[in-house]
Amino acid sequence: MSYLNVEIKARCSDPENIRRFLTANKADFKGLDEQSDTYFNVLKGRLKLREGNIENNLIYYERSNQSGPKQSHFKLVRVDDATGLKEALTESIGVKVVVKKKREIYYIGNVKFHIDIVPGLGSFVEIEAGNIFVDLSEDELRQQCDYYMQQFKIRPEDLIEVSYSDLLIR
């Protein structure tokens, strides 16, 4: 099944401010995950295997590179044998890049928040308003994303157009 996110990624100079807001607004803290995202060579979109303590998924997604809220159509497959899957994908289609990060994961309703530290790149915040748990239109998801961007005081110059993988490849 395919899902829709409206999401942003932004540089974050004050992660503690984001944590305070999330705590004050009773966000559900899922934990701190040390993740390794292996991106594979594909003809279109992006295919990554996420390995972590909390999240272990194969994720295929298509998203345009643009700053500000953007649509992301994705398919998510939970993975029990990440090592075996990674070996098979590496041998068959090859690895594009590996992104390692420390990620704090929070939820408020259907909106997922990440506070990330990516070695070599810095600190970031992500907001993902998604329809995986609720039936909301793209417009409603965009409004949620816009609301949290305002609450976090995210400036246009803080927004990142591309994925961490693109930043590392550059």
pLDDT at position 149, please?
96
Q: What residue has token string 């961007």?
A: 149
pLDDT at position 107, please?
97
pLDDT at position 170, please?
86
- pTM for the model stands at 0.90
* Tokens, residue 8: 């942003």
Q: How far is CA 106 from CA 131, 162, 170, in A?
A: 16, 22, 29
Cβ neighbors of 93 (< 8 A, separation 6 or more) are 40, 41, 42, 47
Cβ-contact 12, 21 below 8 angstroms: no
pLDDT at position 121, please?
96
Q: Number of C-alpha atoms within 13 angstroms, CB side, residue 158?
A: 18
* Element counts in the chain: helices (H) and strands (E): 4, 8
Rounded distance between C-alpha atoms, residue 72 and residue 4, angstroms = 6
Query: Which regions of the chain are under pLDDT 70?
Result: 1
All structural domains of the chain: 3-169 (2.40.320.10)
pLDDT at position 93, please?
98
pLDDT at position 1, please?
62
